[in-house]
Structure 1
Amino acid sequence: MAQVQRTVPDDEANRPADPEDKDRTEEPQASAHKQDEEKRSLVRRHPVWTALAAIVLIALAVAVYFVWSIYFHPYETTDDAFVDARSFSLAAKVSGYIDEVAVTDNQHVAAGAVIARIAPRDYQIAVGQAEAQVESANAAIANAAAQIEVATAAVDEARAQEASTLAALQFAKDEAARQRQLLQGGAGSLQTSQQAESNLRQAQAAYNQAQASVTSAMKNRTAAEAQRNSAAASLKQAQAQRESAEQNLGYTTLTAAQPGRVVRLSGSKGQFVEAGQAIAMFVPDEVWVTANFKETQLADMRPGQPVDLTIDAYPDHVLHGRVDSVQPGSGTAFSLLPAENATGNYVKVTQRVPVKIVVDQWPTDVAIGPGMSVVPTVTVRPRS
């Protein structure tokens, strides 16, 4: 496309400049210069107002800082928090067929409430057998006591016989000695002396027999006492078996040890269960919140500090509680496979530390259970 060039007439090119055009050009420059002068002289012209404005700005900054320190900085919060409880399984301690299930799924029960019953007939028979063994042991103890009495009487009789034979022996000794003296002096006969010696030997034998009878009677009494001790041990064993049988009979009734809810109920009537087999899970009423804070959030966190909580499932319920304790260590340190940081490719990661939070009053119109998400806000510094 051809360019169009404007041709200026020679008379216009040679015409002298107009003074009015020069004034119009210099007027904006002067106005701008005047404004710059006014701006530069504002502080000089109004020093008091400028100082007051600076003071107001500083005071506003300080106020903002205190508002942030009082109403925002004192709080530590996390979304890694959950309702926690010491849940456990309800298991049978004895085997047998379930005769009754007295609860249903997610039912709340009081302490001591019956949850299930196992058919008790076999264990009632075991209790009867144990009671019979106890009675048998008691009878054995009574028999042994009677034997001891008989043996004691026999010992007394043998000792009396021993005393009698001892007196006869002493008389026979004296008589034999007298006859020997008479025979030596010529006043006695040989036949009489021999008869006295024979009586002495008979008395000695009778005394020895009496002593043996005493020993035998004492041994019989010792044996009777041993039988009594054995019967007493059998009685203790029978009583222990009876107690065990009674406990097993009591174990046929499963009861709640504390108030809570029965969840994941798997047992049913007619089902055979082994000892130790779980039939349900139990969630106690005592629950709390485990909040996993970052370790950088724990500088000012202490037990007893107030906490505001909201449950994700029920956001309209605002709960209040307090910090109960801070775990002395990160969560990974107590895991089944803790992290091994002694490696060359170490990358520092901010750890999480579990904090136990106790709630003052849980809502009663909704179901609260372990694993539910909670958002806690801990006031780590006073607001006043």
Structure 2
Amino acid sequence: MINGTRLTKSAIRWGMVGGGKGSQIGYVHRSAALRDGYFDLKAGAFDLDPGRGRDFGVELGLDPDRCYRDYGTMFAAESARSDGIRCVTVATPNNTHYPITRAALLAGLHVICEKPLTFTTAEALDLQAIAAERGLVVGVAYGYSGHQMIEEAARLVADGTLGRIRIVTLQFAHGFHSQAVEGDSPATRWRVDPAFAGPSYVLGDLATHPLYIAQVICPDLRIRRLLCTRQSFVASRAPLEDNATVLMEYDTGAVGTCWTSAVNAGAMHSQKVRVVGSRGSVEWWDEHPNQLRLEIQGEPARLLDRGMPYLHPQALADDRIGAGHPEGLFDAWANLHYRFALAIEAHEDGEPSRVSGLRFPGIAAGVEGVRWVEHCVRSADAGGVWVDYG
């Protein structure tokens, strides 16, 4: 259980690009990174408006001289300081992820990047190569994967409780954009503009979350081919989709489906992952993240609760408080950030093998998310055809 005991030698000097005043995701990143004292915010280029960004940084308690007009200036200035930042979070629109992350890696900085990591697989592989060459960590913000009951689902699959995995169903389908809300919401407006969002909207913005969770729960499943159809029910969003359905076939013979939507009117998040085996099934729902539904054929269905001693030890490792007390999104994101910190310190010590068994969404997860979206778009744009997952 996390009880305030430091697991690294010191806090990591840390900066942010984007995530300025009014940014929900910026607040989430800061809350998670600073939660356990593994990161220490020292610098930022928070806003396209330099004055507004500087004022916000000062509000956060930063030295005004370390509130920069742009990320290039920040990387150059911080690299020249003996107490410069060691890691940077990229919390900006999708079209900037690749150039900012690449510049950060070339400046010798570890990176925590919003998803999707890049527009294309080629760009993502370029970042992966640079990070490997320089011994740097790239974390990707699949924040929901920090919930402990996902680890319990993974252990139930690994120990054979569910039997042979047959079916995986993924869903992230909220209703908050069932109308053209982007007219009044800048945060939504860029997400439905291909110049900023890239080749997809809900596939990249939403579906990659349950996709990564499924990869955590069923790490041995490999997609063999997939078929995708996508729609723009709010017509002004075309060619970007606000609804999509994906069918997947895995190399084991298992099958999968993914429904992702921003127009599921009346729904909240509705992010669910269900894994069906030959003996039983598990289902996790992000609106009730402290519970996992376990159904064994011929037995009563049961709800497993976070923090209880009947869970696998790995599912108890990140508990912050005893069973019965709810933990939520900020706790899950903080769980990932302390793991990012452990990985960063191990790489800086020249001992990456020290964290070889540590689970967190790293560069490989980022590459896979981009590759999956790319294949989905290719299938949908060809008329909804099966495409080999190469």
TM-score relative to the length of structure 1: 0.16
TM-score relative to the length of structure 2: 0.15
**Structure with the higher fraction of residues in helix conformation:** 1
**Greater Rg over alpha carbons, structure:** 1
For CA contacts below 8 A with separation 6 or more, give which structure has more relative contact order: 1
